[in-house]
Amino acid sequence: MFPAGFWKDTEPRFGFPVFRGCVNRVSQAVRLDFCRFSWKKAARQTLAKLRQGRSPDMRMFLPLLTGRKQRMTVRGALTGRDGRFLHDFGEIGSWGAGETLEININELCEARGIAVDDSMFMMIMNLGEHTDALSDINIFSMSYEGDRFFTNYRTGAFARTLNDFSKKKHVGFMSINPKAVVSESHLTGLLLINHSSNPEYGDSVYPTVRLYRPDGKFLDADFGPVPAFGGIERSIEDLFGDSVRQFLEPSGGLGTTVTRVKGYTLAGITVLRSRDGGSMAIEHTRPTQSYLLNGI
Amino acid sequence: MNESAAAHPYVIQRSVPTLIWGREDGSFHTRISLFNYYSLLVEERPITSTAHLYLFDESGREAAHAVQVLEPLGQWQCALSSLVDRFQGSIGVQLVPDFLPPLKHNKYVGTLFFATYWDAKGHADFTHETDRMRYEDDHRLQYEPTVIPSSPSIDTSVIVQNSYFGADPSQCDKAFHLDIRRSDGTSVFRKSYALEPRASVVLHLNELVPNIRHLLGDKPGSVHISGRHINQPLTWSRHASGDFNIHHF
């Protein structure tokens, strides 16, 4: 849980895992057209808001009147993997169109005497007067570099309502991961993040995981609690026991996990590690139903 | 999507292939992982789906087309080595259910899947699919920037794929533009390229700009790619340890 009012509804944000034993970085190439606002764009957004029956945010006209170039100001905070609030880094910097930001989380922590451990980093972006410029924010790269591995995943920030039940109810979360591996050399882990748009959110969630073999046979497991703002990682062997290797043997160690929880939404990440520590791969999961609901 | 759009190559009913990049040879492998998720999403009845996997080599030639029927809750773990000995290029994947509930949009329906890559030394990586195949009626400009990491242990390449799969090649805009910038946004290298429909290319940044690390200093840089018929580009990052990462911009 974060202190009340830790971010504004209009400030895009997202959390990502920090791993001990490697250099953790978050970076972004700020788009060349970041906050390139025009009277045409302002008029279009005003009309769109009016059509939705909402009032346009008149502050978006300020940069047009003043000629000021908006920069993206970034703040950061650290929680434990259990969601416990640990540290507010405050403002880290600001970047404008065409510039590149790269934040070394290890250096941030070490400068404040914080040991780099498995934890969660929350990035919060302030767009000043351009509160409607969320779509101008490029996605972020989270990279993890050790002596023997390098991996990276990319995802975007959001300002939509998540796990804030006074404003919105969720049907539930379902994440389909068809690339689970349990072999002599590699092991997949599932990392679930219980995020919210409400800094004071405090619910733990209790997902379930089903592991399918290509012939349709499956195993069930409880994932265990994921505390608010926490990020819990469990390997396929943690979830299903050592015998899961025999279960997946007929399919060469390959299977699909389906993770579900009712009434909440989560962020899902898959981690693939070689057992000898020589490789690590990470990727977020995708909302499968999106193609059906929204098309492409 | 209108009636004529449904007649575009590779479009089956409402389903359009989504794309990723792959490589297969003696030392590098790719696997496509796909689950018949329609059988979880559609409650009206059990769903059997037909999966199509298409390979297009770097010149854009269709190198393979494999089909697999997925029973309800079935999955396809398709190693490219089962289809080709050597390959580098674009991969299209399409899941076609035998029943689709009424949809509230008139767009295409894409396919969610993942690609896993591994080498002979045990380094492995995976990524989700990117954009869909594009056609005559789709001329939006795509602009994608991404970071060149500051770490001196990482060499970055970019993978660019032409996303035009329409019937009339003259409708394809082959041009794309690449721009490499310092962390302060100043440009150090710009070049325009042409890619045939369905073709792809791997561009090694340290070959385009041999002194790129010196030019960027100890800071990160950025690479910006734009074009009308490009798929979401990918970075291929090679670490000094031998580990690697392939991911969309």
Residue B5 has pLDDT above 70, yes or no: no
Range A201-229 average pLDDT = 97
Residue B243: is it exposed, middle or buried by C-beta count within 10 angstroms (0-12/13-18/19+)? Answer: buried
ipTM for the predicted complex: 0.94
Residue B163 has pLDDT above 80, yes or no: yes
Residues of chain B with Cβ-Cβ distance to A145 below 8 Å are: 151, 153-154, 239
DSSP state at residue A70: P
A198, A208 contact by CB (below 8 A): no
Chosen for mutation from A36, A152, A182 (greatest number of chain B CBs closer than 10 Å) is A152
Per-residue pLDDT at B1: 66
Give the chain A residue whose CA is nearest to the CA of B101. A292
Chosen for mutation from A30, A32, A35, A100 (greatest number of chain B CBs closer than 10 Å) is A100
Per-residue pLDDT at B87: 98
Give the chain A residue whose CA is nearest to the CA of B132. A296
Rounded to a whole number of angstroms, the CA Rg of chain B reads 19
Short-list A285, A195, A186, CA closest to A235: A186
Q: What angle do CA A194, B144, B112 make, to 5 degrees?
A: 50
Residue A236 has pLDDT above 90, yes or no: yes
Per-residue pLDDT at A181: 98
Is A185's CB within 8 Å of B73's CB?
no
Q: How many CA atoms within 13 Å lie on the side-chain side of B65? A: 7
Range B210-221 average pLDDT = 94
Per-residue pLDDT at A48: 84
Count of pairs with CB atoms under 8 A, one residue in A, one in B: 198
Range 37-56 of A in CB contact (< 8 A) with B: none
Name the band, by pLDDT with cuts 50, 70 and 90, for residue A40.
confident
Per-residue pLDDT at A286: 86
Which single residue is written with the structure tokens 């799969």? B165
Residues of chain B with Cβ-Cβ distance to A96 below 8 Å are: 185
Is B222's CB within 8 Å of A100's CB?
yes
**Token representation of residue B238:** 């090679």
Q: Give the separation between CA A143 and CA B247, rounded to whole angstroms.
A: 11
Residues of chain A with Cβ-Cβ distance to B241 below 8 Å are: 146-150, 278
Residue B199 has pLDDT above 70, yes or no: yes
Name the band, by pLDDT with cuts 50, 70 and 90, for residue B226.
very high
Residue A11: is it exposed, middle or buried by C-beta count within 10 angstroms (0-12/13-18/19+)? Answer: middle
Give the residue with greater pLDDT, B69 vs B2. B69
What residues contact residue A7 under an 8 Å CB cut-off, 6+ apart? A13, A124, A199
Quote the pTM value. Answer: 0.94
Question: What separation, in Å, do the N-terminal and C-terminal C-alpha atoms of chain A show?
Answer: 36
- Encode pLDDT of A78-95 as tens digits: 999 999 999 999 999 999
A274, A219 contact by CB (below 8 A): no
**Token representation of residue A245:** 């290797």
Name the band, by pLDDT with cuts 50, 70 and 90, for residue A153.
very high
Chosen for mutation from B28, B30, B243, B249 (greatest number of chain A CBs closer than 10 Å) is B243
Per-residue pLDDT at B16: 96
Beta bridge partners of A93: A74
Is B249's CB within 8 Å of A281's CB?
no
